[in-house]
Amino acid sequence: MRAGITAGKDDKARRRRLARRLIAVQEEQRLRLSRELHDDLGQMLASVALELHAIRADSAELDTRLARAAHLIDQLSARVHDAAWSLRPADLDRLGLRACIEDLASMLCAQLGVPCDVDLEALSRPLEPEVALTLYRIAQEALTNIGKHARPSHVSVTAHIWDNKLRLAVEDNGHGFDGNIAPGSHHLGLAGMKERLALIGGELTVETAKGKGTAIYADVLLSD
């Protein structure tokens, strides 16, 4: 009986260590990608945009086409900038999980111009680094999805603890979607959230229906 309990605990500790390493590797890859996007691609696009904006053709048609191309490059630069920004590491060590998610929520709601209920008191307690990082990335993706797909008039981001379980909830009253659709190769966000949570023994629940808004619940067991 005692041996069984010890083996269970060892197993859990081993899984946690593995999860910690995998998450660290993922974060390192994100950082590298973020730098490449920002420093290399971003700089090159900025140079091409400058060149295009500077060219003035003597034919009106060519001039219009150049202006259109310059406009497309500007849009591409903005996309690259957004992608680099979303991949960059969070400042969790300095600010803490609660403040980092509060920032994400208030930024999104300001952008969308909608009210946002935020109650993240439960995230003020110390959490293991891999748990904090996972919850941060989930909040980031869920809020990005709201910005991209939901068109809500209200957003709420809350966290609660009960029975040694922590639940982070990101909810909107926007379009919602058909939750039964299998994620395609172009839709990695929800699948990524599930995988990240599974790594730390957590669980993701998505409640949604067309026209009924969306609720994303991330549940993790707290260590005793």
The residue ranges that bind ligand ATP (CB under 6 A) are 145-146, 148-150, 172, 174-177, 183, 187-190, 214
Contacted entry of Mg ion, ligand ATP, none for residue 202, CB cut-off 5 to 8 Å set by kind: none
Q: Where are the alpha helices (DSSP H) in 58-181?
A: 60-87, 92-95, 97-112, 129-145
Smallest separation, CB 13 to ligand ATP (Å)? 32
Q: Which is nearer to ligand ATP, 150 or 157 (CB)?
A: 150
Check: CB of residue 216 under 8 Å from CB of residue 142: yes
Between strands 165-172 and 116-119, the pairing is unpaired
Contact status: 145 vs Mg ion (CB under 5 A): yes
Closest residue to ligand ATP using C-beta atoms: 189
Check: CB of residue 143 under 8 Å from CB of residue 157: yes
Find the radius of gyration of the CA atoms of the chain. Answer: 21
Question: CA 200, CA 19: separation in Å to the nearest integer?
Answer: 6
Between strands 165-172 and 214-221, the pairing is antiparallel
The phi and psi torsions of 71 (rounded to 5 degrees) equal: -65, -40
Contacted entry of ligand ATP, Mg ion, none for residue 214, CB cut-off 5 to 8 Å set by kind: ligand ATP
Contact status: 189 vs Mg ion (CB under 5 A): yes
Contacted entry of Mg ion, ligand ATP, none for residue 35, CB cut-off 5 to 8 Å set by kind: none
Binding segment for Mg ion (CB under 5 A), chosen from 65-73, 83-91, 189-197, 206-214, is 189-197
Q: Which is nearer to Mg ion, 23 or 138 (CB)?
A: 138
Check: CB of residue 43 under 8 Å from CB of residue 81: no
Contacted entry of Mg ion, ligand ATP, none for residue 188, CB cut-off 5 to 8 Å set by kind: ligand ATP
Residue ranges in contact with Mg ion by CB under 5 A:
145, 189
